[in-house]
């Protein structure tokens, strides 16, 4: 066993296998509670959309499908690069691992930059809920609730992305130092689980927020 192996075993565990299984189980449990967290938002969304579908369609129509679609592709690609990163760690390919991690982080940052542009466009069009909200069209003020949920849901998601990118930077640092290999790759794997989860949340957000307004044509 190399130097990296013995130092990787934490004191409370008896074996690397026990440590790996524990960390993985811990990450899955954490993701379960994340489902409940976003679940509250989704339930709120479902209730209000059921109550006023026209207002939701009108609000959704204002979102930029191109940017949203682009972001969806970006995130799915980042999940691919993340999965490749995990595979690289498992097969002792350090340089590939670093490359894929960098790609994943870069794609994550692209996502966030696009989000920034989307949000500032909303600002310019007076679509931020609150005192300055103005919605032209038959639906009028009823659209504000849609945008409240839009910002709450994509904002929470973006926050999770930011945390993800920060943790990714830390994993990257360790990867560059040669910590990971076929003997020890669990941190990369667990982080991959988190990254895939955040991706899946977006896969739900995109159609629910962006796609329901496709056939909306200006009625109330």
Which residues are at the interface with another protein (CB under 8 A)? 10-13, 18, 21-22, 25-26, 29-30, 32-34, 36-41, 43-44, 47-48, 51-55, 128-131, 138-142, 144-145, 148-149, 151-152, 156, 219-220
Q: Looking at beta carbons only, is 70 or 151 nearer to another protein? A: 151
The stretches of 52-93 forming alpha helices (DSSP H) are 53-61, 65-90
| β-strand partners of 184 | 181
Q: How far is the CB of 103 from another protein (least distance, A)?
A: 29
Whichever of 50 and 66 has its CB closer to another protein, that residue is 50
In angstroms, what CA-CA distances link 194 with 79, 83, 86, 188? Answer: 10, 11, 12, 10
**Smallest distance, another protein to C-beta of residue 27, A:** 9
Strand partners, 181: 184
C-beta closer to another protein: residue 57 or 107: 57
Q: To the nearest whole angstrom, how small is the minimum distance from the Cβ of residue 119 to another protein? A: 14
- Of residues 30 and 116, the one with the C-beta less far from another protein: 30
Are the CB atoms for 181 and 96 separated by under 8 Å?
Answer: no
Nearer Cβ to another protein (43/73): 43
Q: Are 72 and 88 in contact (CB under 8 A)?
A: no
First to last CA, the chain: 69
Least spacing, CB of residue 107 vs another protein, in Å? 27
Neighbours of 213 (CB within 10 A): 18
Nearest to 94 by CA among 171, 183, 181: 181
Residue 80 Cβ, how far from another protein at the closest point, in Å?
28
């Amino acid at each position: 066993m190399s130097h990296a192996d013995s130092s990787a075993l934490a004191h409370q565990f008896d074996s690397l296998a026990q440590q790996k299984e524990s960390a993985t189980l811990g990450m899955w449990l954490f993701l379960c509670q994340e489902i409940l967290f976003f679940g509250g938002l989704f339930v709120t969304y479902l209730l209000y959309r059921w109550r006023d579908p026209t207002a939701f369609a009108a609000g959704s129509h204002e979102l930029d499908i191109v940017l949203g679609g682009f972001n969806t592709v970006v995130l799915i690609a980042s999940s691919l690069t993340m999965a490749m990163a995990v595979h690289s760690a498992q097969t002792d390919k350090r340089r590939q691992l670093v490359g894929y991690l960098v790609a994943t982080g870069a794609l994550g940052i692209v996502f966030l930059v696009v989000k920034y542009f989307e949000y500032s466009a909303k600002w310019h069009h007076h679509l931020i809920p609150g005192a300055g909200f103005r919605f032209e069209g038959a639906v009028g003020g009823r659209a504000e609730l849609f945008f409240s949920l839009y910002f709450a849901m994509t904002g929470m998601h973006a926050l999770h992305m930011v945390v993800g990118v920060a943790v990714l930077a830390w994993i990257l640092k360790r990867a560059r130092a040669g910590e990971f290999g076929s003997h020890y790759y669990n941190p990369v794997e667990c982080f991959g689980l988190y990254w895939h989860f955040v991706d899946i949340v977006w896969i739900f957000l995109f159609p629910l927020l962006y796609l329901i307004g496709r056939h909306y044509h200006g009625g109330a």
